[in-house]
Amino acid sequence: MSTATNIPAATRFSLLRKPAVARAARLLLAALAALLLVSILLELLGADALTALQAIVEGALGAPFSLGQTVMIASILVLTGIAAAVPFTARLFNVGAEGQLYAGAIAATAVGFQFPHLPSAVHVPLLLAAGIAGGALWAAIPGLMKAYMNANEVIVSLMLTFIATLLAEYATTGIWPSGLATNTDPLPGNALLPTVSASTDITLGAPLAVVAVLLTWLLMNRGTLGFQIRATGFNAHASELNGLPVKRIQVLAFTIGGAAAGLAGAILVAGIQDSLIAGGAAGFGFLGIAVALVARLSATWMIPSAFLFAVLQVGSNSLQVKAGISPSMGAVIVGVFVIALLALGAIRLGTDGAK
């Protein structure tokens, strides 16, 4: 649905002239409006807005460790953004990326503990594959129920999120108990994703997220399946009359989204938290919806969009120390930003312009 990605390259250049500029302008305007609103809010709370915003940026990017954290959370958000964007393009509302992330995390954890003596070169790919499969299967349920039973995919994917969240809790206490109620023991070292940059704790998860973006771009813009997902999303009736297997495409779109979320789950347990933590997803699955909308479902825009949200997420931890206000202001800022974008039409659900 994004102007930039859904059409062949030749068109993109001619379109770049206007819609993309207009879009950038709208984004900028929305960012400024959000900044203004947030500043007013911060001043009302008795904090200095400039100090607070500075605290966020420094808190997210200022030190190697926090920069690494920001990059890793951005990687998770890129993947949950894809989990929302691919089904959205088929006009299916996957709000269950959080649950699909947990499903992937649980599957990855199982592989991690099940084969403690595998060499890393086998164990890590196996664990990642398990995560992808777990998320894909969890997403296939709402996809199948939508396509073949006409169930509401929003409700089904949301309800499955609650189930997966509770399953993760059960896994930490019932399947792989560690004595601590909220998390399992650390995964065996061979199961953990290798570190890419030791000083920042950036692991293989970050380059994997970039690979996922490239693959998604390829799928959606050059692949036959992406073509059919787009056609189905824009006009399912015409697609069906033209012989597209609409139901199968719907299931696949949902499943691909779930695979991305499942990969995020595997990266979370084996590349960030080193163990399965109940509540460890911390809303990253839901935040992926905002990431996808700000990126207007475009795979390439997913990276800056996710990075922006990751900065806000990580940076707001230093609000308490540096500006004397609650870190939950970070969540408020995210909310205000998304609302400002929506209000200014920088992001739109469903049809993108045209129809």
Instruction: Name 22's Cβ contacts closer than 8 Å, sequence gap at least 6.
Output: none
Spacing of C-alpha 233 from chain mean position: 20
Q: How far apart are the C-alpha atoms of 278 and 255, rounded to whole Å?
A: 24
Q: Tell the residue number behind the tokens 């664990």, with chain if given.
A: 127
CA dihedral 41, 46, 52, 55 (to 10 degrees): -150
Min separation Cβ 143 and other proteins, Å: 18
274 in contact with other proteins (CB under 8 A): no
Site for other proteins in 194-213 (CB under 8 A): none
354 in contact with other proteins (CB under 8 A): yes
Min separation Cβ 227 and other proteins, Å: 5
Say if CB 292 and CB 261 are below 8 A apart: no
Q: Which is nearer to other proteins, 123 or 230 (CB)?
A: 230
Give how far Cα 37 sits from Cα of 46, 208, 305, 337, Å: 14, 36, 20, 9
Size of the site for other proteins (CB under 8 A): 32
Q: Which is nearer to other proteins, 274 or 352 (CB)?
A: 352
Candidate list 20, 35, 39, 227; residue touching other proteins; CB under 8 A: 227
Radius of gyration for the alpha carbons in the chain, expressed in angstroms and rounded? 20
17 in contact with other proteins (CB under 8 A): no
Min separation Cβ 225 and other proteins, Å: 7
Min separation Cβ 301 and other proteins, Å: 18
Q: How far apart are the C-alpha atoms of 283 and 310, rounded to whole Å?
A: 12
355 in contact with other proteins (CB under 8 A): yes
Candidate list 45, 225, 282, 331; residue touching other proteins; CB under 8 A: 225
Candidate list 4, 5, 6, 344; residue touching other proteins; CB under 8 A: 6
Q: How far apart are the C-alpha atoms of 349 and 342, rounded to whole Å?
A: 9
Instruction: Name 119's Cβ contacts closer than 8 Å, sequence gap at least 6.
Output: 190
22 in contact with other proteins (CB under 8 A): no
Candidate list 33, 230, 292, 341; residue touching other proteins; CB under 8 A: 230
Say if CB 282 and CB 77 are below 8 A apart: no
Closest CA to 218 of 151, 158, 300: 300
Min separation Cβ 247 and other proteins, Å: 10
Site for other proteins in 252-271 (CB under 8 A): none
User: What type of residue sits at position 206?
Assistant: A
Candidate list 93, 234, 301, 307; residue touching other proteins; CB under 8 A: 234
Question: Given the rule CB under 8 A, which residues bind other proteins?
Answer: 1, 6-8, 10-11, 14, 218, 222-225, 227-228, 230-231, 234-235, 237-245, 351-355
